[in-house]
């Protein structure tokens, strides 16, 4: 197998993180009527050859208690460059729609059953390097409108297609590595890492952020995985990865509330009392990506401080109060002893 085939095969193992996060969202139930479908694989990825047809399979499972009459359609989507959110375009087919052929555009799934949709991709010889689109599974006859709102139950599975052809360039830049604050009272310390794909095919960054006292420390205090989900970045796109270091005492941790929301609360877990964080720290990023020939490193580092100033101020006040009290007691004892000694001398 040539390096180019290995290159594209590696790119086809999984979709990039944006697609993965969006595609793994559970199907939303309709306002009336149960709708509970799962699709797999999610996302659907494949490496194909130009000028050839490739057979793929998509499994759709009906976990509801009633049969579902469904249809499958390819749809385009767009990505907001600022928020990096995916948005389906319900009324627009993707540019590659003419390549896609379904074994059955409409099908029925009984309760608890799984239907296998066979998909054929007829890729033209002049195809580019990679393509992404959505496969939307929805009801053929959705329920009528209720309270002025249309009820539309559907689930989207995102597909990533790599075309095995010469001329692929895999390149990645580390455009930003920052700490959201330079000074933290308590953990977590939050970091942002931004990568930009400057090539024409998909790139998968991985790596580690090492938390150290100084940049030259051999043994880190802690480590944070970069791109733990193994996501990919599309050509020309940027991806921001956020990480939090909360391994310390005390630390703000998210706690589930009775109403289902989460709230940051300062956690005084005495079992972590030995992990008090105070002073200056260094966060050292070591990321890598495969350019098709070798692993290319991307490195950066920053410093930040953790100073629990309110806790220290309260402790200082307590120490001062205790100190004043001790001094007062010692002074009284000294004065009493002095007077007693003076009287004794007169006797």
Task: Report the SS3 class of residue 19.
Answer: helix
Q: Residue 14 and residue 171: Cα distance in Å, rounded?
A: 18
Looking only at the bridges linking them, the beta strands covering 154-163 and 44-48 are parallel
Query: With contact defined as beta carbons under 8 Å apart, do 118 and 102 qualify?
Result: yes
CATH 2.60.40.10 placement within the chain: 3-163, 172-310
What pLDDT sits at residue 10?
41
Q: Verify cis geometry, omega within 30 degrees of 0, for the bond prior to 173.
A: no
Domain 3-163 listed as CATH 3.10.20.340:
no
- Cβ neighbours of 104 (radius 10 Å): 12
pLDDT tens, residue order, the chain (347 aa): 343 333 333 443 333 333 433 333 433 333 345 889 999 998 888 888 999 999 999 999 999 999 999 999 999 988 876 677 778 888 899 999 999 999 999 999 999 999 999 999 999 999 999 888 999 999 998 876 555 555 568 999 989 888 888 888 889 999 999 999 999 999 999 999 999 999 988 888 999 999 999 999 999 999 999 999 888 788 899 999 999 999 998 898 877 777 777 778 888 888 888 898 999 999 999 999 998 889 999 999 999 999 988 777 777 888 888 888 888 888 777 777 766 665 555 55
Count other Cβ atoms within 10 Å, centred on residue 299: 12
| Structure-block tokens of residue 329 | 């007691």
CB 248 within 8 A of CB 272: yes
φ, ψ dihedrals at 213, nearest 5°: -70, -45
- The token pair at 84 is 């990096």
Q: Which CATH superfamily is 172-310 part of?
A: Immunoglobulins (2.60.40.10)
226: left (phi over 0), alpha (psi -120 to 50) or beta: beta
């Amino acid at each position: 197998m040539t390096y180019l085939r290995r290159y594209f095969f590696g790119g086809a193992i999984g979709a990039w993180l944006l697609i993965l996060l969006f595609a793994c969202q559970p199907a939303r139930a309709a306002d009336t009527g149960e709708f509970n479908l799962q699709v797999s694989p999610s996302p659907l990825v494949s490496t194909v050859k130009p000028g050839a047809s490739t057979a793929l399979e998509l499994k759709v499972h009906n976990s509801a208690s009633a049969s579902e009459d469904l249809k499958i359609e390819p749809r385009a989507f767009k990505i907001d460059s600022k928020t990096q959110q995916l948005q389906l375009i319900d009324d627009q087919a993707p540019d590659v729609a003419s390549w896609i052929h379904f074994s059955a555009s409409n099908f029925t799934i009984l309760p608890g059953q799984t239907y296998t949709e066979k998909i054929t991709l007829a890729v033209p010889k002049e195809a580019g390097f990679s393509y992404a689109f959505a496969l939307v599974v929805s009801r053929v006859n959705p329920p009528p409108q209720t309270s002025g709102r249309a009820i539309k139950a559907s689930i989207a599975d995102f597909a990533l297609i790599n075309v095995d052809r010469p001329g692929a360039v895999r390149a990645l830049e580390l455009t930003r590595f920052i700490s959201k604050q330079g000074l933290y009272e308590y953990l977590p310390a939050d970091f942002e890492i931004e990568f930009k794909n400057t090539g024409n095919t998909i790139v998968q960054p991985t790596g580690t952020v090492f938390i150290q006292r100084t940049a030259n420390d051999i043994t880190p205090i802690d480590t944070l995985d970069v791109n733990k989900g193994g996501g990919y970045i599309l050509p020309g796109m940027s991806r921001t990865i956020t990480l939090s270091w909360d391994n310390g005492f005390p630390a703000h941790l998210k706690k589930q509330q009775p109403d289902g929301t989460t709230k940051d609360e300062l956690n005084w877990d005495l079992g972590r009392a030995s992990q008090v964080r105070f002073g200056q720290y260094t966060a050292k990023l070591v990321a890598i990506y495969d350019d098709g020939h070798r692993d290319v490193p991307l490195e950066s580092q920053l410093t930040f401080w953790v100073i629990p100033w309110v806790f220290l101020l309260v402790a200082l006040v307590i120490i001062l109060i205790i100190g004043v009290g001790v001094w007062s007691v010692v002074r009284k004892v000294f004065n009493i002893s002095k007077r007693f000694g003076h009287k004794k001398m007169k006797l």
